């Protein structure tokens, strides 16, 4: 009996020690308790490489405020005024910061054995498995496309459950779930070209909607610029640039942020929310991509200024992605004039942003934000249209087969060559096959939890989602053999980055039109050395060899993110 009592005592002692560690370091499963109790189960108390851990921070008060509920630092209000939310300048690289010693620490697990994250994601992705995933992605596209052509063409979309076409509801033009709206007209794919031509010739119809989102009005520059430069006619690029500059001049004088909905007649902001998702996403994307394509300096100037404001007011969490303590970086929705938090949800469209950060070289921040969206995918097998990060639950439950997370996964793999992103792509492929494949294609998930479906396969599933998945696994694709000769539009179309597109006889006309500086309302123009992209956290120009086959994000931080979305 004595030995049994001894064994029982040791077991109880071990359980007690685990309980202490669980409470102190937050190493147990997250159950959302931080919303109600003054104990933090996040990683705010985790000791980082820079020194002792900081006290838990409350959502409605200063760090360590007693008596209030603890929660993510994303909830902490910003200080009003032009200095609100300013991040410290990027830390200077220290000795050997890009060498094996640095990455040995950052990657974690060295000398301690491989944890579950390293076992699952580290190491090479077998060529046979890559080929299998490539063929699965190709088969996914072929199955969807063949069924569209057989059952839906020439209508806009396919109803994959009932195997028929999906076109406009001409009896009810307000049915936006079915109708494509351009100039307040209900359109098919063919009708769209006619209506676009009419609008370019006669202007906006008088009975049309006067409100538009910033992304809708400000994302024409790439396509219209190409059209002008191919035709030698400045009209198309001129109207697109005028729209971009008009929106840019409406930004807040205090924060430099733009809202998400504007009245095009009055110039008043109808929607004052500033974020990275719906209503604003492609506006930022096309400022950078227009510069890449056309080489117009003012496009990069505007993008740099916008990115700086985004970092100052939208970015919350710890300063560095892969080091330090505190919550992981996240970009929240704020009021464009004050920079104050407006809500606690993010939408699935924001998942495009890590891919844009890759294009500007801010790969470290891209890794963290991508990991957050991937954690949500792992929890639900899809991305809910809106996810409430405070409640650890979806606000809007459907998933219409969007491509944004796949796009960022593809671009991060191209930048890092880390097999981790092939595993991510495989997870996405297998989830789509398991939960969305139906009789005649792939269906929208009506509810990401119960996996019920809607009878709709949107066109971007074929043009973007399947395309990025295929390219992710097709190592020998000609697109990957061309260096930097190709770029993707916001709709996933491949365009050639040719030198002749950087030549136009009307450049001076654009810079002088309106007589207003495109960047600073005060007239300041950055000097040439200021035109570098604002890179918030990347210290290295390339991914070191030591990191290529290890986790892109230190496993302790990956586990932290999984906890914060309720995955573990």
| Residue (of 47, 20, 115, 42) closest to 563 by Cα position | 42
Q: Which two tokens stand for residue 426?
A: 């495989």
Q: Maximum CA pair distance of the chain? A: 96
Q: Would you list the DSSP string of 26-50?
A: --S---SGGGTSS---SSTT--BTT
In the DSSP assignment, the letter for residue 341 is B
**Sign, CA torsion 436/442/448/453:** negative
| Helix (H), strand (E), coil (C) string for 49-93 | CCECCCCCECCCCCECCCCCCCCCHHHCCCCCCCCCCCCCCCCCC
Q: Which residues contact 450 (CB under 8 A, 6 or more apart)?
A: none
Q: Which two tokens stand for residue 374?
A: 């991937």
Is residue 403 within 8 Å of residue 432, measured between CB atoms?
no
Q: Which residues pair with 165 in a beta bridge?
A: 158
Is residue 270 within 8 Å of residue 263, measured between CB atoms?
yes
Residue identified by tokens 């950055």 is 526
| Residue (of 420, 442, 419) closest to 431 by Cα position | 442
Is residue 35 within 8 Å of residue 44, measured between CB atoms?
no
Q: Which two tokens stand for residue 508?
A: 């001076």
Find out whether 255 is annotated in a ligand binding site: no
Burial of 188 (0-12, 13-18, 19+ CB in 10 A): middle
Q: Which two tokens stand for residue 349?
A: 């469209």
Q: How many CB atoms lie within 10 A of CB 73?
A: 21
Q: How far is Cα of residue 97 from the mean position of the Cα atoms in its chain?
A: 27
Is residue 276 within 8 Å of residue 284, measured between CB atoms?
yes
CA–CA separation, 388 vs 40, rounded Å? 18
E-only strand ranges, 102-232: 157-159, 164-166, 180-182, 185-187, 211-213
DSSP element (H, E) containing 237: helix 235-248
Binding residues: 490
Binding residues for Ca(2+): 490
């Amino acid at each position: 009996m004595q030995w049994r009592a001894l064994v029982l005592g040791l077991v109880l002692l071990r359980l007690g020690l685990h309980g202490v560690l669980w409470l102190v370091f937050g190493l147990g499963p997250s159950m959302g308790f931080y919303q109600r109790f003054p104990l933090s189960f996040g990683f705010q108390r985790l000791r980082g490489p820079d020194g002792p851990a900081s006290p838990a921070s409350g959502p409605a008060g200063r760090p360590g405020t007693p008596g209030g509920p603890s929660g993510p630092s994303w909830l902490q209000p910003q200080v009003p005024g032009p200095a609100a939310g300013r991040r410290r300048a990027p830390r200077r690289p220290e000795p050997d910061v890009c060498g094996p010693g640095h990455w040995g620490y950052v990657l974690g697990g060295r000398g301690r054995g491989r944890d579950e994250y390293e076992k699952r994601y580290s190491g090479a992705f077998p060529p046979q498995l890559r080929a299998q995933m490539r063929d699965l992605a190709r088969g996914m596209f072929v199955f969807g496309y063949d069924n569209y052509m057989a059952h839906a063409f020439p209508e806009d979309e396919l109803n994959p459950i009932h195997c028929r076409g999906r076109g406009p509801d001409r009896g009810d033009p307000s049915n936006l779930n079915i109708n494509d709206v351009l100039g307040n007209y209900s359109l098919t794919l063919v009708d769209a070209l006619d209506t676009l031509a009419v609008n370019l010739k006669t202007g906006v119809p008088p009975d049309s909607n006067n409100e538009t989102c910033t992304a809708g009005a400000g994302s024409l520059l790439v396509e219209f610029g190409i059209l002008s430069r191919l035709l030698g006619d400045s009209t198309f690029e001129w109207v697109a640039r005028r729209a971009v500059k008009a929106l840019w001049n409406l930004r807040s004088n205090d924060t430099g942020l733009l809202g998400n909905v504007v009245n095009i007649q009055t110039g008043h902001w109808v929607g004052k929310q500033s974020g990275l998702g719906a209503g604003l996403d492609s506006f930022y994307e096309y400022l950078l991509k227009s510069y890449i394509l056309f080489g117009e300096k003012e496009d990069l100037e505007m993008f740099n200024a916008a990115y700086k404001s985004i970092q100052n007011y939208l970015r919350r969490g710890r300063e560095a992605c892969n080091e330090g303590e505190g919550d992981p970086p996240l970009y929240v929705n704020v009021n464009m004039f004050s920079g104050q938090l407006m809500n606690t949800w993010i939408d699935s469209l924001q998942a495009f942003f890590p891919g844009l950060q890759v294009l500007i070289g801010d790969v470290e921040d891209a890794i963290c934000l991508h990991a957050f969206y991937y954690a949500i995918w792992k929890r639900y097998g899809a991305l809910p249209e809106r996810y409430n990060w405070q409640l650890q639950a979806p606000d809007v439950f459907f998933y219409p087969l969007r491509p944004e997370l796949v796009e960022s996964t593809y671009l991060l793999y191209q930048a890092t060559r880390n097999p981790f992103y092939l595993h991510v792509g495989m997870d996405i492929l297998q989830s789509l096959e398991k939960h969305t494949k139906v009789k005649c294609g792939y269906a929208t998930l009506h509810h990401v939890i119960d996996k019920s479906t809607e009878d709709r396969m949107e066109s971007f599933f074929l043009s973007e989602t399947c395309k990025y998945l295929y390219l992710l696994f097709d190592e020998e694709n000609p697109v990957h053999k061309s260096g930097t000769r190709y770029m993707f539009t916001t709709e996933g179309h491949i365009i050639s980055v040719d030198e002749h597109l950087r030549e136009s006889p009307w450049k001076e006309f654009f810079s002088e039109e309106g007589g207003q500086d495109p960047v600073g309302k005060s007239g300041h123009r950055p000097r040439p050395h200021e035109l570098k992209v604002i890179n918030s956290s990347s210290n290295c120009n390339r991914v070191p060899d030591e990191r290529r086959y290890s986790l892109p994000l230190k496993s302790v931080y990956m586990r932290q993110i999984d906890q914060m979305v309720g995955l573990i």
